[in-house]
């Protein structure tokens, strides 16, 4: 999903907020930056010394080794807890350019220095305090930088600062020395107490430098208080104090994992559960939850398995209903269970309406961080009502891709279920849901996953999704989930548990520190890791078995590689044997769980690689958005790659599409950029919709599975970059919510497009010729042809993508009797290569075996004189047009045995429709006046459709 890498504002702000929080936890002061003096003030010169070798931000690597081109980017804040960039130096506006006043001086060894007076440098008004500075170093072009750093600015009174330890509350090893260092701004006496007992002191100095033994009291929170009393004659006996806490790491009980348990929540009785957390290289884990009021309790220190990789604990007396909990890893990292099927979110749950998720449990305020998992013992299993569902054969699949958020107004599974009748009438047989597993925020495409077994509650409950899948199966429609296993967002427990400042740590069992390819936004899974393999298999098995889904569309499958391509997109797409091995393993594992499940890849890699994967059994996305958009707006393009045979696939495993969630909308592009010739303009809505019918005919008729994007069947004509208000278009609205336009269905012209899609989908899913392996494509030039051959008959499609009429050789596969699909009319082809004239945008579908005739009037293109020779009309039928030529009006008289509605269409000689109408015929004779007075002089053709018989008369206006 290449577009996942365009993050909307909501996602971006959340992403960087998380990182700011992390940076504030990192003891950067005293590592990256030091000040001279130790207690800098607002109105005196400060020397800032940066040691870039101690930066925790990966972007700082670009600064290492530089002798020049390093600049300070900074701000000052008037409060200790407020914005550190409240005041900024004059001219500091463009991060991508050098900022001369902030030019740093090299000290050697990747150390840099600058001297400044805060009030002068930042332009802070006299009388306004300065309480802190926000600082970072960057390259001149801004492409390399450190993390955000903060220092305190002091007033001239007596001050105290802690130099070590850097943290306020932390864990330590037993019987280890703990350095304690303080400095005061004036000479002072110091005293140190440990748990209230005097331990160390210092008199007549401005610093305390001592060490404590941490002892062996594991799991006990210990308190250190340091007091400093000024010895200055001017400040008298002013006293200051600072407190920090430490805990000796507890020693978990070593016990084997009970037989039959797996990672995550294991319900072992009506009110019992055993929790198992896979956490290699971690020292200890506490359970926190509503069962212990979120407090550290030795009774909830989890057992550790003998191999040191797992922690587990049984909860024997759980209450009925829901109980929130989380793990506290190594005493500092609070995470929810990565396998939990329900997650509560501190920041986002409050915005989910009760109509979508009734009785949603409130987030427990005492929990750590933003997410907790939920225990639900005694749940009643959902019983699926539809059994024996048969998945569509691959070569008849018509996939409908949709995003719940943008498909139904209230964004709920329940309303989506109610919409199945609409999709059933359309005729699609597979629905592909964009990601629904828990993701960051509530408003997203879903490609920022945080939990893989839990649904994002923004769309509804587990039961509601199961009911939707059950109802879809009852309608004969398969359901495929878009699964994002190429990357995860920060809140995913296995990202948080193995973290190194701004990226996964080097010892992460699941993630690469740096993505191996250029299209990762969040954090990149290592798919050669045994732990990742096991996790992927568990995820796939869960959704296949617990929700009865029919398969997966895997996002950015080309990213499942350990072959580093850096920023070289071309190298990333080259044949990669290791990536193929990864995918064959995943495919084989899925098929052991469900032998017929679909495995769909968004791959877009080397042709030989895609061919190998397709021939192995996987389905590949075939993106022809650019081709079809070009053809629709009358550019001369060749979309032969839509044929799986042209790609050397042995099986019809190419899912071709003209639109997806990731692509610009076809009708929007036609209306913005379509060509025009004379009065025929693709930019006009009716014509753009007719062009959409033309592209749909060629897309859906080519054998092999196909996909359409939501509302493409109604000609959705808002850009992919449309904002949620439907008016403003800008790049950062790409993933923003789009206006839901069900009202399109009430528009007559759009409804005709829907019915054309429906008619074509019906052919694809029911007529053997449309799944044939014997077909020929001729997709070069502006007139394109497709021939399908089967034992049940031959189908021939011809279409003109130009903006003007084209006279060409028809290219019928053979002469003889054919049937015109959209009128049902029988025609005789005397010469297969006879010359035909196609009006602009016209397309005709013929078959040697009569197909079910769709509703009349869906396309404005009927048989044109010179295209074919129609079957002789009813000998008793007479048509008389008089006067002809005419100036203002002519009258058509029809004498025939036909009874019913007659369709009339008056067209220019080039084929453009001038006027269409219907009239009832209730007797043998009908007189129909035809107004010509507002038409320019010239030759016109009047088409008359009586049931399955069509006639054409030439009309001369003088």
- The three-state secondary structure class of 22 is helix
- The pLDDT, as a whole number, for residue 15 is 31
* Residues contacting residue 445 through CB under 8 Å, at least 6 positions apart: 1, 3, 4, 403, 434, 435, 661, 735
In the chain, domain spans = 33-152, 160-248, 264-375, 760-847, 878-957
- The three-state secondary structure class of 10 is helix
The region of weakest confidence among 54-58, 280-284, 548-552 is 54-58
When pLDDT is cut at 50, 70 and 90, the band that residue 57 belongs to is: confident
* Residues contacting residue 810 through CB under 8 Å, at least 6 positions apart: 798, 829, 832, 833, 834, 835, 836, 867, 868
- The pLDDT, as a whole number, for residue 434 is 98
Q: Which CATH class is domain 160-248?
A: mainly beta
**Smallest Cα–Cα separation from 509: which of 485, 490, 529?**
529
C-alpha distance from residue 489 to each of 12, 16, 485, 524, 555 (Å): 12, 12, 11, 9, 15
Quick one: average pLDDT of 267-284?
96
* Number of CB atoms found within 10 A of residue 513's CB: 17
When pLDDT is cut at 50, 70 and 90, the band that residue 21 belongs to is: very low
Q: Is the peptide bond before 883 cis (omega within 30 degrees of 0)?
A: yes
d(CA 230, CA 209): 17
Whether 836 shows a pLDDT value over 60: the answer reads yes
d(CA 841, CA 677): 12
**Smallest Cα–Cα separation from 894: which of 905, 882, 878?**
878
- The three-state secondary structure class of 571 is helix
How many residues are given for the chain? Answer: 958
With tokens 């030039």, the residue in question is: 781
d(CA 392, CA 236): 87
With tokens 């996939």, the residue in question is: 399
When pLDDT is cut at 50, 70 and 90, the band that residue 866 belongs to is: very low
Beta-bridge partner residues of 518: none
The answer to whether 246 and 172 are in contact (CB under 8 A) is yes
- The pLDDT, as a whole number, for residue 730 is 63
**Smallest Cα–Cα separation from 344: which of 332, 353, 352, 356?**
352
With tokens 């915005």, the residue in question is: 351
Core vs surface per residue 871-907: b (16+ CB within 10 A) or e: eeeeeebebebeebebeeebebebebebeeebbbbbb
The answer to whether 453 and 295 are in contact (CB under 8 A) is no
Whether 872 shows a pLDDT value over 70: the answer reads no
Beta-bridge partner residues of 230: 188
Dihedral sign for Cα 113, 115, 120, 124, please.
positive
**Smallest Cα–Cα separation from 841: which of 952, 679, 659, 712?**
679
When pLDDT is cut at 50, 70 and 90, the band that residue 878 belongs to is: confident
**Smallest Cα–Cα separation from 412: which of 475, 350, 335, 464?**
464
* Rounded (10°) CA dihedral 889, 895, 901, 907: -40
d(CA 291, CA 953): 86
* Residues contacting residue 893 through CB under 8 Å, at least 6 positions apart: 878, 879, 880, 881, 882, 925, 926, 927, 928
Q: What are phi and psi of 928, to 5 degrees?
A: -130, 115
Name the strand (E) or helix (H) holding 33.
Answer: strand 33-36
* Residues contacting residue 221 through CB under 8 Å, at least 6 positions apart: 245, 246, 247, 296
**Can you count the helices (H) and strands (E) in the chain?**
15, 50
The CATH architecture to which 878-957 belongs is Sandwich (2.60)
d(CA 435, CA 487): 13
* Residues contacting residue 162 through CB under 8 Å, at least 6 positions apart: 181, 182, 226, 242, 244
- The three-state secondary structure class of 100 is helix
**Smallest Cα–Cα separation from 264: which of 453, 99, 430?**
453
CATH number belonging to domain 264-375: 2.60.40.10
When pLDDT is cut at 50, 70 and 90, the band that residue 311 belongs to is: very high
C-alpha distance from residue 765 to each of 267, 386, 389, 785 (Å): 44, 21, 16, 21
d(CA 642, CA 634): 18
d(CA 159, CA 152): 11
* Residues contacting residue 45 through CB under 8 Å, at least 6 positions apart: 115, 116, 117
SS3 of the chain: helix, strand, coil, percent, to 5 = 20, 35, 45
Structure tokens at 540: 């796939």
Largest CA distance in the chain: 126
Beta-bridge partner residues of 160: 184
- The pLDDT, as a whole number, for residue 14 is 30
Quick one: average pLDDT of 506-531?
95
d(CA 741, CA 754): 14
d(CA 542, CA 6): 30
- The pLDDT, as a whole number, for residue 107 is 97
Helices (H), 506-664: 530-546, 569-573, 577-593, 607-616, 625-632
**Smallest Cα–Cα separation from 25: which of 368, 317, 415, 539?**
368
* Residues contacting residue 21 through CB under 8 Å, at least 6 positions apart: none
- The three-state secondary structure class of 809 is strand
CATH number belonging to domain 760-847: 2.60.40.1180
Q: What is the pLDDT of residues 569-605, one digit of tens each?
A: 999 999 999 999 999 999 999 999 999 999 999 999 9
Whether 950 shows a pLDDT value over 80: the answer reads no
The answer to whether 562 and 516 are in contact (CB under 8 A) is yes
Using CB atoms within 10 Å of the CB of residue 295, give its burial: 0 to 12 exposed, 13 to 18 middle, 19+ buried. exposed
- The pLDDT, as a whole number, for residue 534 is 98
- The three-state secondary structure class of 145 is strand
The answer to whether 609 and 579 are in contact (CB under 8 A) is yes
d(CA 139, CA 123): 24
Q: What is the pLDDT of residues 420-451, one digit of tens each?
A: 999 999 999 999 999 999 999 999 999 999 99
Beta-bridge partner residues of 328: 286, 334
CATH number belonging to domain 33-152: 2.60.40
- The pLDDT, as a whole number, for residue 220 is 85
Q: What is the pLDDT of residues 676-718, one digit of tens each?
A: 999 899 999 999 999 999 999 999 999 999 999 999 999 999 9
Q: What is the pLDDT of residues 453-484, one digit of tens each?
A: 999 999 999 999 999 999 999 999 999 999 99
878-957 has the same fold as 160-248:
yes
Beta-bridge partner residues of 799: 784, 843
* Residues contacting residue 889 through CB under 8 Å, at least 6 positions apart: 929, 930, 931, 932, 933
Structure tokens at 82: 């407020």
Whether 558 shows a pLDDT value over 70: the answer reads yes
Of all residues in the chain, what percent carry a pLDDT higher than 90? 78
CA angle 153, 154, 157 (to 5 degrees): 175
- Compute the mean pLDDT over every residue in the chain, rounded to the nearest whole number: 91
């Amino acid at each position: 999903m290449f577009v996942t890498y365009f993050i909307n504002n909501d996602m971006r702000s959340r992403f960087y907020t998380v990182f700011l929080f992390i940076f504030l936890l990192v003891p950067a002061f005293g590592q990256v930056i030091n000040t001279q003096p130790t207690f800098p003030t607002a109105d005196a010169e400060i020397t800032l010394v940066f040691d870039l070798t101690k930066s925790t931000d990966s972007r700082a690597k670009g600064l290492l080794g530089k002798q020049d081109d390093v600049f300070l980017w900074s701000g000052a804040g008037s409060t200790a807890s407020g914005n550190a960039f409240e005041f900024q130096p004059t001219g500091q506006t463009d991060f991508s350019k050098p900022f001369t006043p902030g030019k740093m001086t090299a000290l050697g060894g990747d150390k840099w220095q600058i001297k400044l007076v805060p009030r002068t440098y930042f332009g802070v008004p006299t009388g306004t305090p300065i309480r802190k500075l926000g600082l970072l170093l960057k390259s001149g072009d801004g492409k390399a930088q450190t993390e955000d750093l903060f220092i305190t600015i002091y007033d001239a009174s007596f001050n105290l600062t802690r130099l070590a330890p850097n943290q306020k509350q932390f864990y330590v090893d037993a019987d280890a020395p703990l350095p304690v260092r303080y400095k005061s701004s004036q000479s002072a006496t110091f005293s140190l107490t440990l748990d209230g007992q005097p331990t160390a002191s210092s008199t007549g100095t401005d610093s305390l430098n001592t060490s404590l033994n941490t002892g062996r009291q594991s799991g006990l929170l210990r308190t250190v208080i340091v007091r400093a009393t000024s010895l200055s004659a001017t400040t008298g006996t002013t006293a200051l104090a600072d407190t920090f806490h430490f805990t000796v790491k507890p020693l978990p009980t070593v016990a084997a994992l009970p037989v039959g348990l797996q990672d995550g929540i294991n319900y072992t009785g009506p009110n019992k559960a055993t929790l198992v957390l896979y956490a290699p290289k971690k020292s200890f884990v506490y359970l926190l939850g509503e069962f212990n009021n979120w407090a550290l309790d030795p009774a909830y220190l989890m057992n550790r398995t003998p191999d040191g990789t797992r922690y587990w604990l049984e909860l024997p007396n759980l209450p009925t209903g829901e109980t929130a909990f989380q793990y506290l890893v190594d005493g500092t990292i609070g995470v929810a269970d990565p396998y939990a099927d329900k997650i509560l979110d501190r920041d986002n749950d409050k915005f989910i309406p009760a109509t979508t998720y009734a009785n949603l449990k409130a987030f427990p305020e005492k929990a750590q961080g933003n997410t907790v998992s939920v225990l639900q013992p005694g749940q009643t299993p959902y019983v699926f009502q539809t059994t024996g569902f048969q998945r569509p054969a691959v070569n008849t699949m018509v996939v409908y891709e949709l995003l719940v958020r943008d498909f139904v107004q209230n964004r709920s599974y329940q309303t989506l279920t109610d919409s199945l009748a609409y999709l059933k009438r359309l005729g699609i047989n597979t629905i592909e849901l964009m990601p629904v597993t828990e993701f960051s925020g509530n408003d997203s495409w879903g490609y920022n996953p945080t939990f893989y077994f839990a649904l994002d509650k923004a769309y509804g409950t587990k039961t509601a999704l199961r009911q939707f899948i059950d109802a879809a199966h009852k309608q004969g429609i398969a359901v495929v989930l878009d699964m994002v296993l190429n990357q995860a967002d920060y809140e995913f427990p296995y990202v948080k548990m193995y973290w190194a400042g701004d990226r996964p740590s080097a010892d992460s069992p699941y993630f690469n520190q740096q993505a191996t390819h250029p299209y990762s936004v969040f954090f990149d899974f290592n798919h050669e890791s045994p732990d990742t393999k096991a996790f992927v298999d568990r995820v796939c098995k869960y959704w296949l078995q617990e929700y009865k889904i029919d398969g997966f569309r895997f996002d950015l499958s080309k990213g499942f590689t350990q072959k580093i391509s850096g920023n070289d997109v071309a190298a990333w797409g080259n044949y990669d044997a290791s990536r193929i091995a990864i995918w064959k393993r995943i495919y084989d594992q899925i098929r052991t769980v469900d032998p017929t499940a679909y495995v769909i890849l968004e791959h877009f890699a080397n042709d030989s690689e895609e061919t190998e994967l397709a021939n192995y059994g996987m389905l590949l996305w075939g993106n022809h958005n650019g081709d079809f958009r070009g053809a629709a707006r009358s550019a001369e393009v060749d979309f032969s790659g839509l044929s799986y045979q042209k790609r050397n696939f042995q099986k019809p495993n190419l899912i071709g599409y003209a639109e997806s969630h990731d692509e610009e909308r076809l009708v929007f592009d036609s209306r913005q950029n379509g060509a025009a010739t004379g009065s025929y303009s693709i930019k006009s809505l009716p014509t753009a919709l007719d062009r959409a019918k033309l592209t749909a005919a060629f897309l859906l008729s080519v054998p092999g599975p196909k996909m359409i994007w939501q509302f493409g069947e109604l000609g959705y004509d808002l850009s992919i970059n449309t904002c949620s208000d439907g008016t403003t278009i800008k790049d950062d609205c790409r993933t923003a919510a789009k206006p839901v336009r069900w009202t399109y269905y009430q528009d007559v012209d759009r409804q005709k497009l829907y019915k054309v899609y429906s008619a074509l989908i019906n052919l694809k899913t029911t007529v053997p010729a449309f799944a044939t392996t014997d077909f020929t494509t001729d997709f070069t030039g502006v007139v394109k042809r497709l021939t399908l051959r089967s034992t049940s008959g031959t189908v021939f499609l011809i279409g003109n993508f130009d903006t003007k009429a084209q006279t060409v050789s028809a290219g019928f596969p053979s002469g003889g009797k054919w049937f015109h699909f959209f009128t049902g009319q029988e025609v005789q082809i005397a010469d297969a290569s006879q010359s035909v004239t196609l009006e602009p945008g016209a397309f005709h579908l013929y078959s040697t075996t009569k197909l079910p005739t769709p509703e009349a009037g869906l396309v404005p293109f009927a048989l044109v004189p010179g295209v074919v020779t129609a079957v002789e009309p009813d000998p008793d039928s007479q048509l008389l047009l008089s006067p002809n030529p005419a100036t203002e009006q002519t009258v058509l008289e029809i004498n025939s045995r036909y009874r019913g509605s007659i369709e009339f269409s008056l067209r220019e000689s080039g084929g453009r429709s001038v006027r269409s109408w219907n009239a009832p015929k209730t007797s043998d004779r009908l007189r129909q006046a035809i107004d010509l007075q507002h038409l320019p002089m010239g030759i016109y053709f009047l088409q008359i459709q009586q049931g399955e018989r069509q006639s054409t008369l030439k009309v001369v206006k003088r």
